[in-house]
Amino acid sequence: MSLHRNGAALITGASSGIGAAYAERLARRGYDLTIVARNRGRLEALAARISDDTGRAVEVFVADLRQHEDLARVEAALKQDASLTMLVNNAGVGAVAPMMHSNVDLMEDMIKLNVVALMRLTYAAAPVFAARGRGAIINISSVAAIAPEMLNGVYGGTKAFVLSFSQSLHHEFADKGVQVQVVLPGATSTAFWGTAGMPISNLPAERVMPVGEMVDAALAGLDFGELVTIPSLPHIADWDALETARRKLTRHLSRAHPAARYRTRPADA
């Protein structure tokens, strides 16, 4: 059991899976918790277990972050609760079916949760943390952010937003005492897959990481000060190479005239 205190962490999507694992690990690190999800029963059971095991205070916050009123209540807590020093934006849903076989209303709901809720909660927390000169924001993305062909395109797009948004946050807040980390898990053993329409039993076992191992790796990345943590990636040099190429490309993305290839018409066939 951790004997020091680190303030409090607010974790969304905390009733099971990745969010619950974060709650357990952060409590052992000395954080009190505010755990947010829709299912009161699962939240209360988790809160009781964590409190008994660690002695940390755990507040249950029942909210559906796709609903404006519920989202606004969580935003208010982030702005007003001076004990909060960490936000874990974990709540999200996924999909595996291609666009032609997806329900567009469900895709809109996914954007509300994966993008809009995460963005608004970050907007609530980041200025408060910056004003105090202390805080951490952990955003859960996915390897689909850099490999969008893997799953449903809207899902990949939402997770690409999370990656890009987090990179921008780091650029804006790094000198203000706010640590930003974006985590890109691969396939993880949670209920995500069944909810998304693909039972986890359909996936090769060697490609699925236990949820506890994934969160432990993500927290190790946080300790290392990583902006981007990809728990499954064997060699961080591969990510560094991609980032180096992206930054090199950035210098050439805005110029006064089109590239030469667009100023010369191809020869007539």
Q: Can you tell me the distance from the alpha carbon of 211 to that of 231, in angstroms, rounded to the nearest whole number?
A: 11
Q: 22, 123, 155, 262: which is the annotated catalytic residue?
A: 155
22 catalytic? Reply is no
Radius of gyration of the chain (CA): 20
Read out DSSP for 100-127?
A: GGS-HHHHHHHHIIIIIIHHHHHHHHHH
Residue 180, beta-bridge partner list: 137
Q: Can you tell me the distance from the alpha carbon of 93 to that of 158, in angstroms, rounded to the nearest whole number?
A: 10
User: What is the model's pLDDT at position 2?
Assistant: 37
pLDDT in tens, 94-130: 887 788 888 999 999 999 999 999 999 999 999 999 9
Domain 8-262 has CATH 3.40.50.720: yes
User: What is the model's pLDDT at position 150?
Assistant: 82
pLDDT in tens, 200-242: 667 677 778 899 999 999 999 999 999 999 999 999 999 999 9
Residue 240, SS3?
A: helix
Phi then psi for 186, rounded to 5 degrees?
Answer: -85, -155
Under the banding of pLDDT at 50, 70 and 90, the label for residue 39 is: very high
Q: Can you tell me the distance from the alpha carbon of 62 to that of 70, in angstroms, rounded to the nearest whole number?
A: 8
Dig out the tokens for 179 from the structure.
């640590």
CB 13 within 8 A of CB 38: no
The domain limits of the chain are 8-262
pTM: 0.91
Contacts of residue 163, Cβ cutoff 8 Å, sequence gap at least 6:
141, 145, 146, 182, 184, 228
Average pLDDT, the chain: 91
